[in-house]
Amino acid sequence: MSIFPRLTSIVRELPATVPFVGPEAIERNRGLKVKARIGANENGFGPAPSVLAAMAQAAPETWKYADPENFELREALAKHHGLSRDQINIGAGIDGLLGEIVRMVIEPGLPVVTSLGAYPTFNYHVVGYGGRLVTVPYANDREDLGALLDAVRREDAPLVYFANPDNPMGSWNDGKDVVDFARALPKTTLLVLDEAYGETAPDGVIPPADALIDRPNVIRTRTFSKAYGLAGARIGYVIAAAETAAIFDRVRNHFGMSRVSVAAALAALADQDYLAEVKAKIAAARERIGSIAVANGFSPLPSATNFVAIDCGRDGAYAKAIVDGLMEEGVFIRMPGVAPLNRCIRVSVGPQSDMDLLAEALPKVLKKLG
């Protein structure tokens, strides 16, 4: 008889879960080859040449731990946003930061408010710490601020999650409405305002960096994974009141950052000219995805992100058949997981060659489906 280590009661009951099945797993399990990787909201245009050079320069020193205080990167981010260093903290992407935030606030049985169909990795962390998810539906494919606020008040929730712009729909709320929502929350409710797609949003969507800095119950999360093209480097950060940002130092992995990744983030932040070029490419690719959708009888939803949700006009089973069919053609995309959002497929931006593969493959798949 094998002797298994003792687990917490929460972990004993949890299934093994990967919130997103990666294209690598699909290749392994289905024996298919991904030709166009346009499903994970990565930035297929990649990081700036200056960033790649900085990473190469840092690589020989990878035997060293990174600065556990992340002083240089926090200083650079503070200067970039017009804040002070103590209003910034660093983590291994937004996913890692979400886990730390949930750990700070949630004990078994406590309610956590989010939108039904919103970012599954946040839910994964909540369940992992024994929280009780309370979800509200989207309204017209946007997260419903009024319904979120009502749920917080009804449940006396200590934590609420809201993304602006949104994943998986690409929609957004006006920045003024976001600020009003944050200020209307009870002071005992912590808001995670996920701004992963902030760099690709239209003017007026992202409140100024200091707009909510006086609210200790607001944590804004940002990333280098999207517009900066560094998803694999795992660099994220928070903007928060100094006393809130400091709480991360109680729970974070102080040696959790790679020196190469930190060097990449510093170089990316310094190369704003390249960021502007990539934002233009992202906008053009969104337009191309929309044109492909329309050409095949579908309706692209307006997007403020680096992907486009496409309304396929039927149900989730039909959308999944399209996702599976495209993968047979080597085109990896994803779809929202919850009705009625799952009537859509979701296509990430990518270089021209990926867009061409999508344009070629989609009509083939639809013809097979009939």
What CATH number is associated with residue 266?
A: 3.40.640.10
Asked if 221 and 313 sit in the same domain, the reply is no
- Measured distance CA(252)–CA(266) in Å, rounded: 20
Q: Is the pTM of this model over 0.85?
A: yes
**What is the tens place of the pLDDT at every residue in 8-46?**
999 989 999 888 889 999 999 999 999 999 999 999 999
Asked if 222 and 246 sit in the same domain, the reply is yes
DSSP for 145-195, written as a single string: HHHHHHHHHHHT-SEEEEESS-TTT-----HHHHHHHHHHS-TTSEEEEE-
- At 171 the pLDDT is 98
- At 150 the pLDDT is 98
- At 5 the pLDDT is 78
Q: Which token pair is 121?
A: 């990795």
Q: How many domains does the chain have?
A: 2
**What is the tens place of the pLDDT at every residue in 46-105?**
999 999 999 999 999 999 999 999 999 999 999 999 999 999 999 999 999 999 999 999
Within a domain: residue 3? no
- At 19 the pLDDT is 85
Within a domain: residue 83? yes
What is the span of the domain harbouring residue 213? 49-270
Query: Which regions in the chain score pLDDT beneath 50?
Result: 1
CATH number at residue 341: 3.90.1150.10
- Cβ burial of 275 (10 Å; 0-12, 13-18, 19+) is middle
Asked if 214 and 76 sit in the same domain, the reply is yes
Within a domain: residue 2? no
Final residue of a domain: which of 237, 270, 303?
A: 270
Final residue of a domain: which of 270, 299, 315?
A: 270
Final residue of a domain: which of 216, 241, 270?
A: 270
Within a domain: residue 11? no
Within a domain: residue 6? no
Within a domain: residue 10? no
